[in-house]
């Protein structure tokens, strides 16, 4: 796997974030995984606000997003409207059962929408499969300045 890929995991439940990270590692992902506990933290990172780490040029990014639907919608809109970030793939985890919700995610520019499951074994397999997909993807490099 390319070392210049950074996975940004946005998850409001630290236990779920740890599970996702663990099963991505089992799938062979050895890239850096940055954890953000909410939409505001990742927005700060991507747009160079606040203290701490910020987005870097010449690196590929992928976003794994598991936050409330309204926050997800707003976040995806913000990212996809930015010329510098619009090519960053976004995988959304959702509890939504309504196909209209899924359609909205895709219409906003979500790359992949994954319906969450409460079945632990199924969840583990989904994350492993997602890891295999990430390994095989060609992800654009973000070269623009902030």
Q: For residue 48, what are its two tokens?
A: 């160079």
- Over range 121-126, report the average pLDDT: 90
Secondary structure (3-state) at 95: coil
Residue 100 to residue 47: CA distance in whole angstroms: 30
Q: How far apart are the first and last CA of the chain?
A: 26
Predicted confidence (pLDDT) per residue in 3-52, tens digit = 689 999 999 899 989 999 999 999 999 999 999 999 999 999 998 887 77
Q: Pick from 26, 23, 29: which is nearest to 1 by CA? A: 29
67-122 per-position pLDDT tens digit: 887 788 899 999 999 988 999 999 999 877 767 788 899 999 999 998 888 888 99
Name the band, by pLDDT with cuts 50, 70 and 90, for residue 2.
low
Q: How far apart are CA 86 and CA 95, in angstroms?
A: 24
Domains and CATH numbers, the chain: 11-142 (3.40.50.2300)
Instruction: Report pLDDT for 31.
Output: 93
> Which residue in 100, 96, 91 sits closest to 126, CA to CA?
91
Q: Rounded distance, CA 107 to CA 104, Å?
A: 5
Q: Decide: 44 and 52 in contact? Cβ < 8 Å.
A: yes
Question: In this model, does residue 1 exceed pLDDT 80?
Answer: no
């Amino acid at each position: 796997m390319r070392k210049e890929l950074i996975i940004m995991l946005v998850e409001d439940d630290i236990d779920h974030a740890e599970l996702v990270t663990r099963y991505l590692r089992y799938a062979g992902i050895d890239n850096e995984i940055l954890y953000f506990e909410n939409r505001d933290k990742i927005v700060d990172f991507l747009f160079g606000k606040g203290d701490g780490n910020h987005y870097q040029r010449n690196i590929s990014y992928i976003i794994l997003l598991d936050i409330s639907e309204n926050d997800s919608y707003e976040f995806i809109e913000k990212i996809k409207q930015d010329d510098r970030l619009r090519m960053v793939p976004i995988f959304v985890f959702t509890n939504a059962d309504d196909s209209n919700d899924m359609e909205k995610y895709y219409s906003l520019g979500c790359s992949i929408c994954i319906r969450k499951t409460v079945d632990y074994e199924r969840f583990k397999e989904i994350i492993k499969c997602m890891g295999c997909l990430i390994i095989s993807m060609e992800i654009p490099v973000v070269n623009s300045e902030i």
